[in-house]
Chains A and B, each alone.
Chain A
Amino acid sequence: MSEAPRKNRKQVVEALHEVAAEMHNRMQRGDPPRMILPVRSKTNISFDNKLGVFKYGKNKTVRDATKLGSARQLLRTLHITEFIEEMIDSEKSSTLREMYYISEGWGNGKFGSQNESNNLAEDLEIVTKCLREDFKLRPEEDGARIIGNITVEERNRRGEWMRINCRDDVGDSGYGVPYNVEEEKLKLVDEDIDFVMAIETGGMFDRLIENGFDEEARCALIHLKGQPARSTRRIIRRISDEWKKPVVVFADCDPWSFRIYASIAYGAIKTAHISEYLATKEATYLGITADDILAYDLPSDDLTKQDIGALEAELSDPRFNTGWWQEQIKLMQELGKKAEQQSLAKYGLDFVTDTYLPEKLDTIGLGY
């Protein structure tokens, strides 16, 4: 299920018109216009046995014009629809941020915030079953960077395919993953690695590169840059699918890092409608675990009020409803502590590559 289903221009426009038509039909019948959407919260995601990832459940929310806020959302949705149609016609694309600014000219259909325009674009994806790329909308967010012995072909802005080895053809900052990583833009050509390691922080990414970890452990290193962008999650998924390589996630030990892992392995709540293209169910959480804080006696910080709240929320998040995660979260609550990846430096700069990672990888059968 690697291939994302793409629609042609005509299909996209038709799907968008259906949204407008539902509103229009209802008004003709004397009913308030509306849109029906799945509830987009942790209470409405469930594990899809067939796909192996988390998808939206059956709970729907009706956005209808009986409240001012919702009516405005509907009007904005119609403006976005019109805007997308125009872009499709003129073969242009825009960033979500550009659309936010363009909405300045939409009068009462103007967005209140960038966040709102992003959410509405996602809503449209959900109801039309199209992808953002079909809408000619680009994210603002940075893609990841990759270093490791893999070779890709990327179609550059002149339309030519460029061959890039992510170890030999890149500088220290690695290969920058573009926002579109679908077949039409990016091909995975060749590899000589044993696994992929996704790393939360830039500091740790750079440490592993300086220590030559990618070559020594024969892996590709991917810097997630915090909560990973769609394209980052998508390329991890493609590497996993197409090359059948194991994926491990190396992050801080705090509730937010757990969520980063969940969005890679199980699917993010916000994008649960496309979890089957973005999530990599084979991904493993390598560390740092709550156990590690004790086992390695790592320097740690007290949990903040927000951390405690986030942990509490995770206990009832269906994605963390496994014995292992519940144990880890509860242990962390007991300790009242969190630790950063870089706290491993307590034992020297090489400790992470000489001791910690080999030991951890060994436990999941990736020893080298």
Chain B
Amino acid sequence: MNEAEEISSKQKQASIGEFFEKNKHFLGFDTQQRAIITAVKEAVDNSLDACEEARILPDIRVELRRTKSDELEMISQDNGPGIPRDSIEGVFGKFLLGSRFHAIRQTRGQQGIGITGVVMYSQLTTGSKTRVISKVKSDSSAVFVDLGIDTKKNKAIKSSEKRDIWIDERTGVEISHGLKITTVMKAKYQRGKKSVYQYLRMTSIVNPHASISLVVMDKEGEIIEEGNWVRTSNKLPRVVEEIKPHPHGIQLGTLQRMLRESTDRRMTSFLKHNFSGVSPRAAKEILGAADIEEGRTPKRIKPDEAKAMITAFQAVKLLKPPMDCLSPIEDLLIKKGLSKAIDSRFASTVTRSPTVSQGNPFQIEVGLVFGGDLSSEGPIEILRFANRVPLMYQQGGCLLTKALEAVNWKSYGLDQPGGSGIPKGPAAVLVHLASTNVQFTSEAKEAVSYNEEVFDEVRKAMLEVGRGLKNHLKKSSERKKAKEKFELVNIILPEISKKSSELLGREEPDLAPVITQIMNAVFLEEELSWNKESRLSMCSVTIHNYTARARAYTILAKWPEGEDTSMAFNPRGGRKEAKGLWAWRLDTLDPGTSTVLEFGISGLSKGDWNETDIFFRGNGEIIGATRMDEALLDEQRKAEALEAAVEEVRRSSAPSEAIKERPVTVFEPGANTDWFGMEGDGE
């Protein structure tokens, strides 16, 4: 089986007519404005999922054109693996319920009705067929086919099928793999907050590895809206492992179906094969608690017994499900994604560690951007995502919004009238829930339903980015103060001296002692820059001693230490104090003198490193730096040592695991951490 076949074969099918009937009003086609968003969403989500699994960096192009006053033609084209000819009917002719019943994993497809809904809607509203062009890399030609749906027989109807070379209309180049869908439907294009444009903009933020473009044309072919979001990272989301469901998250109906469909002969093997977190010992304990013989055939288990099993699942101690089924975006990429869509001054991001709720692993990520072009009027923009899919409707009823509203943003520097609710100010907050089983408030799948553990995690993540913002604002104001002082002694004071001397016809006084008296402090300024030639992220720290005494300090700087980065330029040497923390002992700094400390980091791109924290050890305060909190540093060192020991054990016990692709440990760019005691006594 090639990749494409493998993917499509996993897509189990459910009865179309039944599903459609039951969920008609939840399918996202309830208004003509929404229909086109839903259609684009289904096509783009499928493209992104397929590319991700086939390890292809996605190029996705969406074209919308008005054909009649209330009709739109949608063209969606990707460079994904394509769909093998034999699977096309299955993919486009039956509703996909994703793979969630059989294997658990974080995918986008979980959240939609599937592309079949689009084919169906097109047929119902315009009577037209959906044209599919699919090219699989291993085939010599592409499949061209028109699809309709026989709703009675729950089958796709193929027509005008042919095989041909597929030439890209725009470039004239033959396409080696990809998928193109052309369909017409009753729909209206709408701009603004709930638009295809906004949907794709949000999608591009959480998929920095994708290039997405949009062209919307009116009947005459004039472009009325356009968007082009270029890839900002070549790093594909990591391959997520499929995991089996965990007993804590299983409901009776699901268990009964699993039992029914099981081919296992014994209950012990049924439990071992179909669930995660169930050891052979645990399996025996469960069956014992449920009073079921170990050798029973799963198919023969009665409803009462299944119920007893559900109770037993909660009573028996089980292992946690594995976490590598989740695909977080990761802080640095969130930062990149946000920066390509929103022009801002500052970004604070956090990726929380994965955790479990009712047997389902989940992970929360939050990004906050501030300043720049963002409007300071009105409430902040909230960008909600579940498994990298934008949530555009029902913002108020969503858990992700509620957790944000529960934070006291005032103490982090954002205006929040009344002390709760959506804060105001020049900021935008992104919140991403990655989970194998996102629980929505309704089938419309636009609002995440309440769950204490998830709420708590979102809140904690918000607090973390909030601290980052607060720290940033504090630093900005300190920096401003220092800048003013420099202007005072370097520009204004000499002018006062000159002017008064002129007026009086006297000699100009020596200003050095005056300056020392005015400043009476040690000042530190740091500047981060990008060196194009050496491709290093440079940090330059200038320390001025404007006191009457000689001073000696050790300066410590945070830097993005990680597997990909290294301290490539460091003429002053110094030493590592902890992960991401380097220290330099400086020579004695005489009164009225200054010195510059410089270092450069390799392995980053321009703009990756925008903010750092500088600490010091020594007598007297430094304006612009924080006194090192030695107790917290010790704690961190201990935590690191422990982590290293655990890693050591893990590597030796599971050598195969260790070489698997794991997320690169992404540095925390300064702003996010508070374990160095950011609220230092520097004032």
**Which A residues contact B (CB, under 8 angstroms)?**
17, 20-21, 23-24, 27-28, 30-33, 65-68, 71-72, 74-75, 78-79, 81-82, 85, 107-109
User: Whose C-beta in chain A lies nearest to the C-beta of B483?
Assistant: A68
User: Whose C-beta in chain A lies nearest to the C-beta of B503?
Assistant: A20
Whether B518 lies near A32 (C-beta < 8 A) is: yes
Q: Check B372 for interface membership: any CB of A closer than 8 A.
A: no
Given the interface pairs A30-B514, A32-B518, A78-B500, the reply to whether A24 lies near B492 with Cβ below 8 Å is no
23 contacts across the A-B interface (CB closer than 8 A): A21-B500, A23-B500, A24-B501, A24-B504, A27-B496, A27-B500, A30-B513, A30-B514, A31-B514, A31-B517, A32-B493, A65-B488, A65-B492, A65-B518, A71-B488, A71-B493, A71-B496, A75-B495, A75-B496, A78-B496, A78-B499, A82-B502, A109-B499
Shortest C-beta distance, B188 to chain A (Å), equals 47
Whether B491 lies near A27 (C-beta < 8 A) is: no
CA distance A20 to B496 in the complex (A): 9
User: Whose C-beta in chain A lies nearest to the C-beta of B506?
Assistant: A24
CA distance A81 to B504 in the complex (A): 11
Chain A residues with Cβ under 8 A from B474's Cβ? none
Whether B504 lies near A72 (C-beta < 8 A) is: no
User: Whose C-beta in chain A lies nearest to the C-beta of B502?
Assistant: A82
CA distance A109 to B513 in the complex (A): 23
Whether B500 lies near A20 (C-beta < 8 A) is: yes
Chain A residues with Cβ under 8 A from B501's Cβ? 24
CA distance A51 to B376 in the complex (A): 53
**Which B residues contact A (CB, under 8 angstroms)?**
484-485, 487-488, 491-493, 495-497, 499-504, 506, 509, 511, 513-514, 517-518
Whether A109 lies near B495 (C-beta < 8 A) is: yes
Shortest C-beta distance, A264 to chain B (Å), equals 38
Whether B517 lies near A68 (C-beta < 8 A) is: no
Shortest C-beta distance, A156 to chain B (Å), equals 36
Given the interface pairs A30-B513, A31-B514, A68-B485, the reply to whether A75 lies near B492 with Cβ below 8 Å is yes
Shortest C-beta distance, B515 to chain A (Å), equals 9
Interface of chain A, helix or strand or loop or mixed?
helix
Whether B517 lies near A32 (C-beta < 8 A) is: yes
CA distance A133 to B611 in the complex (A): 55
Task: Give me 7 other A-B pairs in contact (C-beta within 8 A), A24-B509, A65-B496, A82-B502 excluded.
Answer: A20-B499, A21-B504, A27-B509, A32-B514, A65-B514, A67-B484, A108-B491
Shortest C-beta distance, B484 to chain A (Å), equals 4
CA distance A67 to B511 in the complex (A): 16
Chain B residues with Cβ under 8 A from A23's Cβ? 496, 500
CA distance A31 to B513 in the complex (A): 7
Whether A78 lies near B488 (C-beta < 8 A) is: no
Chain A residues with Cβ under 8 A from B487's Cβ? 68
Chain A residues with Cβ under 8 A from B499's Cβ? 20, 75, 78-79, 82, 109
User: Whose C-beta in chain B lies nearest to the C-beta of A69?
Assistant: B484
CA distance A23 to B485 in the complex (A): 19
The one of B488, B504, B511, B518 that contacts A20, using a Cβ cutoff of 8 Å: B504
Whether A24 lies near B500 (C-beta < 8 A) is: yes
CA distance A72 to B499 in the complex (A): 12
Shortest C-beta distance, A17 to chain B (Å), equals 6
CA distance A61 to B581 in the complex (A): 46
User: Whose C-beta in chain A lies nearest to the C-beta of B512?
Assistant: A30
CA distance A163 to B346 in the complex (A): 71
CA distance A75 to B493 in the complex (A): 8
The one of B492, B497, B504, B509 that contacts A108, using a Cβ cutoff of 8 Å: B492
Given the interface pairs A24-B504, A68-B485, the reply to whether A74 lies near B496 with Cβ below 8 Å is yes
Shortest C-beta distance, B482 to chain A (Å), equals 11
User: Whose C-beta in chain B lies nearest to the C-beta of A107?
Assistant: B495
CA distance A27 to B493 in the complex (A): 10
CA distance A24 to B485 in the complex (A): 20
Whether B503 lies near A27 (C-beta < 8 A) is: no
CA distance A296 to B488 in the complex (A): 60
CA distance A82 to B502 in the complex (A): 9
Whether A17 lies near B492 (C-beta < 8 A) is: no
Given the interface pairs A27-B514, A32-B517, A33-B500, the reply to whether A67 lies near B495 with Cβ below 8 Å is no
User: Whose C-beta in chain B lies nearest to the C-beta of A22?
Assistant: B500
Shortest C-beta distance, A109 to chain B (Å), equals 7
Chain B residues with Cβ under 8 A from A65's Cβ? 488, 492-493, 496, 514, 518
Whether A17 lies near B503 (C-beta < 8 A) is: yes
Whether A30 lies near B517 (C-beta < 8 A) is: yes
Whether B496 lies near A68 (C-beta < 8 A) is: no
The one of A66, A72, A78 that contacts B503, using a Cβ cutoff of 8 Å: A78
User: Whose C-beta in chain A lies nearest to the C-beta of B515?
Assistant: A32
Chain B residues with Cβ under 8 A from A30's Cβ? 513-514, 517
CA distance A20 to B498 in the complex (A): 11
Q: Which of B496, B502, B517 has the most CB of A within 10 A?
A: B496
Chain A residues with Cβ under 8 A from B514's Cβ? 27, 30-33, 65
Whether A81 lies near B492 (C-beta < 8 A) is: no
CA distance A27 to B497 in the complex (A): 8
The one of A28, A66, A79 that contacts B509, using a Cβ cutoff of 8 Å: A28
Shortest C-beta distance, B542 to chain A (Å), equals 19
Whether A72 lies near B500 (C-beta < 8 A) is: no
CA distance A65 to B493 in the complex (A): 7
Nearest 8 Cβ contacts at the A-B interface = A30-B513, A27-B509, A68-B484, A78-B499, A71-B492, A28-B509, A24-B500, A20-B500
Shortest C-beta distance, A344 to chain B (Å), equals 44
Shortest C-beta distance, A15 to chain B (Å), equals 13
CA distance A17 to B517 in the complex (A): 25
Shortest C-beta distance, A290 to chain B (Å), equals 36
Whether B488 lies near A67 (C-beta < 8 A) is: yes
Chain B residues with Cβ under 8 A from A75's Cβ? 492, 495-496, 499
User: Whose C-beta in chain A lies nearest to the C-beta of B505?
Assistant: A17
Chain B residues with Cβ under 8 A from A33's Cβ? 493, 496, 500, 514
Given the interface pairs A24-B500, A27-B497, the reply to whether A72 lies near B506 with Cβ below 8 Å is no
Chain A residues with Cβ under 8 A from B517's Cβ? 30-32
Shortest C-beta distance, B383 to chain A (Å), equals 38
Shortest C-beta distance, A85 to chain B (Å), equals 8
Shortest C-beta distance, B568 to chain A (Å), equals 39
CA distance A240 to B295 in the complex (A): 118
Q: Which of B488, B499, B506, B513 has the most CB of A within 10 A?
A: B499
Shortest C-beta distance, B674 to chain A (Å), equals 31
Shortest C-beta distance, A74 to chain B (Å), equals 6
Shortest C-beta distance, A212 to chain B (Å), equals 56
Chain B residues with Cβ under 8 A from A82's Cβ? 499, 502-503
Chain A residues with Cβ under 8 A from B513's Cβ? 30
CA distance A14 to B487 in the complex (A): 31
Q: Which of A32, A72, A85, A109 has the most CB of B within 10 A?
A: A32
